[in-house]
Homo-oligomer: A and B are copies of this chain.
């Protein structure tokens, strides 16, 4: 066949394969309540592959059996010119949650998201640290689009001309209710890639759809117990002696401290990084880590993965790096096993082998001015766009595997993540620093299988300080990040006691919090939860029509209300943080009776309440029948062989049972069955009094607690 004819044949076949829409799509149930279909050719590494996600079938099977949760014939796919066009139906009352770590909005219905790994730039437009292409519907199902591309999701924002439910024609001249955004009955996605896997997750509740999503990706990561204690990050140029001194000052102040963050100065050069200890500031790194360890403290090392010419890693890894530099450092192509191996060997030798407990992995998100550009190329042939979407996942998965090799749990910080990350030991953080929006991010993290910390840096007032410290203690990582200015928990003396109190309260709640994370691991339930995932919470967002104004709002756009400043920690505790400058706030209580955590008093039921709390406490509300295991104040999580006395609180009037989890708190032996679930029950005794059972748990069933249980009935 002459070359020209061959080329024409090629073009024709290309035309056939790319222009024609796929007529019907086969959905295969790949796990209980999880269906998959594949569109086009998967030539590239997917998000779930990059995350190394492996399902937990036993967890998935324990959820209710259910059928495919959407009308299949209303899901439409086509491929045009190497791009995938998707359309999913939306019911008129449906709310859509997820689609990335958003900071200002919860219900994404009506929005447009261009999912793109990036630092958060102040708008919920899809550019964020974890632009996860997963959404969960208020109607109780979830959808994941597994493709590492900058896809755009139109969440019922634009109306199709063939829509079955076309909104009425309005005349802006005369119709006062004219709407600049007529409602659409389709969620549409444009994926600039010629292949993607789509997953649909059954509920039947939104929470169960999220659980399936997390369990499909391996469940949540179970942090080491020390990971749930307090952590402080030290100023950049602190030496090993400065850090030991810093740790001692926490002892002096009787302030909790389980791990300490070591900032860029530990590198012999950083930005770009050597990943080698600086000989002047850290002359004896092993001795330094050993000293910390004797103080019960784990060390977490800051890094970004861009390699300095001054590192011994530079020469061998150079050929496995991309076409562009980040701060003049080379960018390893971690889709290549050779690059991963070189990185592993360097890190294990210099860090893990001498006792480093974890990493803070910075600047893998963006922003565009310093990360590799989309015109970059990589030796594996992976495009820059795709590399951007998966880099954070790959560094999480890779570093996690090194600790797993040592049968040692880690817990660290990451700036970029994506789908499939729930099983990875990292908490997302950033520099954005709006306290209120930080809480909204915590709410949103619950939909998409990631963790988020509203970290504390500096504050303009004692009020801001205590309010920030309170909420960070009710988050996945209780962190003070003092890299730039050396703030301490006691920096504002007038609130130092209140700050110490809330850190102590977090330490007391460790058995409850650890169980909450075990629920994440075994049941897929996010530890910190949006109200929209709570049974019996049926808040309907209201759109309020905006006033037309020639200069401020020429289209009279409406403003949407969300519940975005309160959340659940685990099954029972509703957290309603306070923000500087606000003396009172509203709290929405779901169905059932709710009690004040501190006093046990009834506060309301299925209603909106107004509270005016004091400065020294974060408002916490507890569900009727709540069972909350606690320990006395300790500065650190229990170590091997340590046992803390157990107090179990009960709130309200309801008889109830709840299972408390425990294990060794530091290894992966739990994966081989070395763990316990203790059923804690409260029933009404013969005299009508509430009674707790058991009074004592089998010593064998207990890793970190004494066998005796002290039951406290908080509601009199």
Contact = CB atoms under 8 A, between A and B. Distances in A.
Interface stretch (A320-328, A499-507, A585-593, A632-640): A320-328
A328 B167 contact: yes
Contact of A321 (B161, B376, B457, B483): B161
A169 interface: yes
Counting chain B CB atoms within 10 Å of each CB, the highest count among A161, A167, A178 belongs to A161
Contacts of A548: 484
B324 A169 contact: no
A475 to B, nearest CB: 18
Interface string A536-552: 00000000000011110
Counting chain B CB atoms within 10 Å of each CB, the highest count among A1, A171, A308, A376 belongs to A171
A69 interface: no
A428 to B, nearest CB: 16
A333 interface: no
Contacts of A1: 1
A708 interface: no
A370 B180 contact: yes
Contact of A13 (B7, B170, B375, B549): B7
B483 A158 contact: no
A254 interface: no
Given A173-B265, A189-B375, A485 B550 contact: yes
Interface stretch (A58-66, A79-87, A519-527, A650-658): A79-87
A477 to B, nearest CB: 17
B373 A154 contact: yes
A184 to B, nearest CB: 9
A324 B159 contact: yes
A241 interface: no
A158 B375 CA distance: 10
Contacts of A168: 328
A270 B373 CA distance: 43
Counting chain B CB atoms within 10 Å of each CB, the highest count among A112, A166, A483 belongs to A112
Contacts of A236: 173
B373 A112 contact: yes
Interface string A180-202: 11100000111010000000000
A494 interface: no
Interface string A343-379: 0000000000000000000000000111011111100
A517 to B, nearest CB: 29
Contacts of A555: 370
Contacts of A80: 377, 383
A670 interface: no
Contacts of A22: none
A180 B370 CA distance: 7
A404 interface: no
Interface string A69-81: 0000000000011
Contact of A368 (B157, B159, B373): B157
Interface string A1-14: 10000110111111
Contact of A172 (B85, B167, B264, B375): B264
A43 B252 CA distance: 73
Contacts of A182: 325, 327-328
B9 A369 contact: no
Contact of A550 (B188, B330, B369, B483): B483
B271 A172 contact: yes
Given A188-B375, A270-B173, A369 B157 contact: yes
Contact of A9 (B10, B166, B181, B431): B10
Contact of A190 (B13, B152, B189, B375): B375
Contacts of A188: 373, 375
Nearest to A1: B1
Interface in A408-453: 431, 433
Contacts of A549: 484
Nearest to A179: B327
A6 B10 CA distance: 7
A14 B431 CA distance: 44
Contact of A484 (B178, B330, B554): B554
16 contacts: A9-B10, A10-B11, A10-B12, A81-B383, A154-B373, A157-B369, A161-B323, A170-B327, A173-B265, A173-B267, A173-B278, A178-B271, A182-B327, A182-B328, A190-B373, A190-B375
Interface of A: 1, 6-7, 9-14, 17, 80-82, 85-87, 110, 112, 152, 154, 157-162, 166-173, 178, 180-182, 188-190, 192, 236-237, 264-265, 267, 269-272, 278, 308-310, 321-325, 327-328, 330, 368-370, 372-377, 383, 431, 433, 457-458, 481, 483-485, 548-551, 554-555
Given A172-B264, A457-B550, 7 more contacts: A9-B10, A85-B377, A159-B325, A169-B309, A169-B310, A181-B369, A182-B327
A-B interface, 3 closest residue pairs, ranked by CB to CB distance from nearest: A484-B550, A172-B271, A10-B10
